[in-house]
Amino acid sequence: MTSSAHLPTLAVLISGSGSNLQAIIDAVDSGRLAARIAVVASNRKAAYGLERAEAAGIPTRYHPLKPYRDAGKDRNQYDADLAALLAEYAPDWVVLAGWMHIFSHAFLQHYPNRIVNLHPALPGQFPGAHAIDDALAAFQRGEVDHTGVMVHLVPDERVDEGPVLATRAVPILPGDTHDTLAARIHATEHDLLVETLSQLVRSSVSKE
Ligand code: GRF
């Protein structure tokens, strides 16, 4: 059996419920994802994902932006400090699983081709924080009949853009509400994120 010390390591960044984090935790536990979660970091203290991590025995870090704003420090400082904090855990990959901040070069430069983002829409469609509602509104205007989910690398400061690793379409059904569509999208996210990470860590291990 491989020692967990030699598995590729993940830093998972969250801002909220952490249902995608939970999918990663479960996939690690079941052996579907051959990786170790080295740390979970959140910019929000109340993020339920922190509790999920603690329940799984994973180290957690809370890194809020407000003290930086209050002290008149710029975003680069926040990002540089987050990078330094994560460096303590030497993650091979940084996974943005519902992380709601946009990174500057001060963070990105530390993880070239090593930051993975999950977004609840297909490439080029519905970027930003309201992707599910935007897709539903487009459906109601008769402009689309489906939306989807993507997993992509984060090379720069563009929002929800970058080399696409995987996509999956999600149908929108007549009568869908935010909640019914969100449930369908999240179930798809959980599976696609785990599948993509598991391929990614396998391919990175085989190249070493
Ligand atoms: C997901 O829909 C993700 O795509 C988006 O934020 C949501 C996070 O959900 N960026 P959760 O915290 O993993 O439950």
Which sequence spans correspond to the domains of the chain? 4-207
Cα Rg for the chain, rounded, in angstroms? 17
Asked whether residue 5 carries a pLDDT value surpassing 70, the answer given is: no
Candidate from 12, 19, 188 with most ligand 1 atoms within 8 A of CB, to mutate: 19
DSSP 8-state symbol, 72: T
Distance CA 97, CA 84 (A): 20
Distance CA 97, CA 107 (A): 16
Out of 110, 119, 152, 190, the active site residue is 119
* Fold assignment, 4-207: Rossmann fold (3.40.50)
pLDDT in tens, 135-164: 999 999 999 999 999 999 999 888 888 999
Return the HEC string of 2-18.
CCHHHCCEEEEEECCCC
Which residue has 């080029």 as its token pair?
A: 124
* Residue 148 CB–ligand 1 contact under 6 Å: no
DSSP 8-state symbol, 102: P
Asked whether residue 28 carries a pLDDT value surpassing 70, the answer given is: yes
pLDDT in tens, 158-193: 888 899 999 999 999 999 999 999 999 999 999 999
